């Protein structure tokens, strides 16, 4: 499972000109599902995203997590994160999960994030989305969870 997180002061997702998900301070997670991914993989990524210390404390050090600051999480499905870009000039998506598997794990991840007490907004799976955000820092991290 691939996850790209960005620390943001605000973010939103629009589909056909309508806002479908919006957050204030928190994290935007672009989520890519691969064939080998399971619910356990999603659980590991959720633990990492919600506890990763990327927010600054009173000493201006990155010591606080999303949970610590009671921030919000915007989860956006991102098929292209599963791309293999090692060869040639065109990405290969052979390791990407099927749309059914990806949607199931995406929905599972969102549900588990809510169970964990996070404030969660989402994009719309498989839609043509327009994502707008203000990256704070900028701070961006990529996770590959197996």
Q: Token digits for 15?
A: 């589909």
Say how far apart CA 84 and CA 59 lie, in whole Å.
40
Q: b/e per residue, 72-102, with b = 16+ CB within 10 A?
A: bbbbbbbbebbbeeeeeeeeeeeebbeeeeb
- Active centre residues (catalytic): 78-80
Number of Cα atoms under 13 Å in the Cβ half of residue 42:
23
Nearest to 66 by CA among 81, 76, 58, 54: 54
């Amino acid at each position: 499972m691939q996850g790209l997180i960005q620390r943001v002061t605000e973010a939103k997702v629009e589909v056909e000109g309508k806002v479908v998900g919006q957050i204030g301070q928190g994290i935007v997670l672009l989520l890519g599902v691969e064939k080998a991914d399971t619910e356990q993989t999603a659980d590991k990524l959720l633990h990492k995203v919600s506890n990763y210390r990327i927010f600054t404390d009173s000493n201006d050090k990155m010591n606080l997590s999303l949970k610590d600051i009671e921030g919000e999480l915007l989860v956006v499905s991102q098929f292209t994160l599963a791309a293999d870009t090692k060869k040639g000039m065109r990405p290969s998506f052979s390791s990407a999960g099927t749309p059914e598997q990806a949607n199931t794990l995406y929905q599972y991840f969102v549900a588990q994030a809510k169970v964990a007490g996070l404030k969660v907004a989402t994009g719309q799976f498989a839609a043509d989305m327009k994502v707008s955000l203000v990256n704070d820092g900028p701070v961006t991290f990529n996770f590959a969870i197996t």
